[in-house]
């Protein structure tokens, strides 16, 4: 699933984050089948930015938490690493994302709480602000699109071209709303 031109522009706008060497490591960490954590985070940032504008939430803050919500360097697919398993990942990674982000910039308490709660309803924290709700919804929207694209590409044996086509169609529908 390739990044769109708008998503690439957003990544360039926030290059003070996306060009950081540690953030670049997210490119090597798989996420939702056929993508990586770097691209997933950029997609979530763009979706959060758009949704925030519609909901009267600060779009810059929404883009920021979208970029940083999965800033966790654990590959939960790698069983040999002996790190956090899939079942514990949803509880663990938001805190690590906040810790990693704090080495680059200072997040407000509201931004930290948004990142902490983005795994709702799978994790313990409930979104407690409009910003947190925007991030949670954007993450679910993007993860769903990535999962469908991956399913079309792999499970259905349709290949990458079809997976990208399905992904573009679904994203087009979601962006209209």
| This prediction's pTM | 0.83
Question: What are phi and psi for residue 125, nearest 5 degrees?
Answer: -90, 135
- Asked if 39 and 11 touch (Cβ cutoff 8 Å), the reply is no
pLDDT level of residue 3 (50, 70, 90 thresholds): very high
Using CA atoms, how far apart are residues 74 and 52, in angstroms rounded to an integer? 29
**42 contact partners, CB below 8 Å, separation of at least 6:** 3, 7, 8, 10, 11, 18, 67
pLDDT, one tens digit per residue, over 110-133 is 999 999 998 787 777 888 999 999
pLDDT level of residue 93 (50, 70, 90 thresholds): confident
Using the 8-state DSSP alphabet, how is residue 154 labeled? Answer: I
C-alpha torsion sign, points 129, 134, 139, 145: positive
Using CA atoms, how far apart are residues 33 and 36, in angstroms rounded to an integer? 8
Structure tokens at 35: 């993508």
pLDDT at residue 1 in the model = 74
The torsion angle over the Cα atoms of residues 62, 168, 2 and 24, rounded to 10 degrees, is: 20
Distances (CA, A) of 75 to 59, 79, 122: 29, 9, 18
Closest CA to 175 of 60, 43, 62: 43
pLDDT, one tens digit per residue, over 12-66 is 999 999 999 999 999 988 776 678 999 999 999 999 999 999 999 999 999 999 9
Domain 5-74+81-175 adopts which CATH fold? Hypothetical protein af1432 (1.10.3210)
Given the structure tokens 């930015």, which residue do they identify?
49
């Amino acid at each position: 699933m390739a990044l769109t031109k708008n998503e690439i522009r957003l990544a360039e706008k926030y290059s003070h984050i996306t060009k950081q060497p540690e953030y670049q490591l997210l490119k090597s960490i798989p996420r939702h089948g056929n993508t990586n954590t770097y691209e997933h985070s950029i997609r979530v940032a763009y979706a959060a930015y758009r949704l925030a504008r519609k909901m009267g939430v600060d779009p810059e803050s929404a883009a920021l938490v979208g970029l940083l919500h999965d800033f966790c360097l654990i590959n939960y697919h790698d069983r040999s690493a002996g790190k956090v398993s899939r079942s514990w990942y949803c509880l663990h990674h938001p805190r690590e994302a906040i810790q990693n982000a704090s080495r680059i910039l200072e997040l407000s308490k509201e931004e930290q709480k948004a990142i902490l709660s983005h795994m709702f309803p799978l994790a313990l924290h409930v979104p407690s602000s409009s910003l947190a709700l925007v991030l949670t919804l954007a993450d679910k929207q993007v993860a769903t699109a990535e999962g469908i694209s991956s399913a079309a590409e792999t499970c259905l044996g349709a290949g990458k071209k079809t997976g990208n086509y399905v992904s573009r169609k679904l994203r087009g529908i979601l962006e209209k709303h």
